[in-house]
Structure 1
């Protein structure tokens, strides 16, 4: 029997030696409208390595506006965007090949705060008052106008002081108004200064599709499934270990008072602002988009069956 040649022997030995697991080569970019505490499930998925466990390398970019984030998806410079689903619905109604693939925020994450001496009894207490709120278009102001209408009032019954998003605490704490409509973490910033919360939209409206992950209809199915899987794993981790979610939030918002960050996350978790899963119910989507229809921003509800990619959602929920 002839001896094996060195090159052949080396090849055979290489085949017999167990190979290391191949690293996942799936990559994706997600464009978020803003760096927002509302998007904590995304940050948990990134910071806790849950996208990597799902086989996906994710790069996060901040667009500065929902429309810009969605435009990145439409132009294919990003695979996913995170913002209110109404932006996706409007774009889809105009022919853009986009839909939503996962839930991110499932509660109407807006609250009304007042000065401690404000005589609040109900919404009609606001008649004639100056209200600090976000510059339109924004969901906080949209929801507030919806609330007024539901109570037989209109924007003419109050004086709106609209300011850039995130700056609402300034004029409110300075005494320019005794009422403010707010997102987190601004809400808990003013609560820490003695202001009181008189109405929470999450409790009032229940499940409400507030923010979602959007993608093109022709997104790579493997990439989309891995992304939705990672988001689902993040939501599960937040529910099982809320302290880890708080720790991620403190890392993502290092310039905020850690006590405010913790209070904001705990409030949103207790009031079910963060979802139980990546699923988006038809009822929650309808309620969320009805607000935009009432304001004239959207003509009609999209077809739920084609607008929500339940194939990705169902597999992620079943696997996590």
Structure 2
């Protein structure tokens, strides 16, 4: 399975190279237009939506156009081609591209926990990961971090992919085989996880608690990005993250607006879980530990040769002023 991820990431890299500190913060000069390309419309990316819908970017004088690329590779390609100023996806895509020579780095944190969980049918007895041996497990199609983390956990516990009967399905559809009884174990993201819980499934393992700080999703930009726009963007995002921690009800309301077809109960539960478990970070900073843990997963899978240089790859010139602002 890892080879699929390696080929996808390597192909992307080659193609890319060639081819509220306070809510009352006064607005800056309004109207600077920027574009962000997100991999997907995802509940994981709620900090971005809070920053847009809550007016935090507007208070920084930015007019942010959000575009959905459909994949991490397409989102990053938009940045490197110049059709977007920023992209939002897992930082491993940026790290692989940078390792191949692309002039792109990470400028802000968006998701700081390994936002993956294992859910099981109500009759399954689960005392630890070794209980999945010989079982049918449904997970997202590779390359995806959820399945990559599952493989990593198996390896850490002396098992391999061959120890389970893995059924890979399109991302977001993991709940189908689980609820239908085709599999009694699923590796899931939100909001699928709380959709499954609403149907009687139980959560038995959370990767956020297992791994702690984990640079899961972040904002990437070219080194030649407009520094003024980038500084405003990171500060707006920082203010949104602070707001989310102090206003969970209002944060959930924005999530319901962004995902109107989902059951509001599921949306509220998913937002609460990700706030409680530290998936949504308290600030835009990315620690060396968070980056190392995340990139170790990619190195173990063969997608990345070595850890990126933290001091160069994580652009503190945007992060630190945003953290210091009051």
Task: Judge same fold: TM > 0.5, yes or no.
Answer: yes
Counterpart position of 1:181: 187
Contact 2:154–2:161 (CA under 8 A) maintained in structure 1 = yes
> Hey, what's the Cα distance between the residues in 1 that align with 2:206 and 2:117?
5
Secondary structure in 1 aligned to 2:64?
A: strand
Alignment of 1:287-302 (within 5 A): 287-302=293-308
> Hey, what's the Cα distance between the residues in 1 that align with 2:204 and 2:28?
54
> Hey, what's the Cα distance between the residues in 2 that align with 1:244 and 1:310?
30
Shift of 1:23: 4.7
Counterpart position of 1:149: 155
Counterpart position of 1:6: none
Q: Report whether the alignment pairs 1:43 with 2:49.
A: yes
Q: Report whether the alignment pairs 1:30 with 2:36.
A: yes
Shift of 1:22: 8.4
Secondary structure in 1 aligned to 2:229?
A: helix
Q: Report whether the alignment pairs 1:131 with 2:133.
A: no
Identify the match of residue 191 of structure 1 among 191, 197, 201: 197
Counterpart position of 1:13: none
Identify the match of residue 232 of structure 2 among 215, 223, 226: 226
Shift of 1:121: 1.4
Post-superposition CA distance 1:276-302 (Å, at most 9, x none): 100000110010010000000111111
Q: CA RMSD in A?
A: 1.0
Secondary structure in 2 aligned to 1:251?
A: helix
Counterpart position of 1:207: 213
Q: TM-score, normalised by structure 2?
A: 0.91
Secondary structure in 1 aligned to 2:67?
A: strand
Q: TM-score, normalised by structure 1?
A: 0.93
> Hey, what's the Cα distance between the residues in 2 that align with 1:106 and 1:23?
31
Secondary structure in 1 aligned to 2:57?
A: helix
Secondary structure in 2 aligned to 1:128?
A: coil
Post-superposition CA distance 1:224-244 (Å, at most 9, x none): 001001100100100111111
Counterpart position of 2:114: 108
Shift of 1:72: 0.3
Counterpart position of 2:73: 67
> Hey, what's the Cα distance between the residues in 2 that align with 1:192 and 1:141?
23
Q: More displaced, 116-125 or 137-146?
A: 116-125
Secondary structure in 2 aligned to 1:50?
A: coil
Post-superposition CA distance 1:259-318 (Å, at most 9, x none): 000000000000000111000001100100100000001111111111001110000111
Contact 2:28–2:60 (CA under 8 A) maintained in structure 1 = no
- What 5-or-longer segments of structure 2 have no aligned partner? 1-26
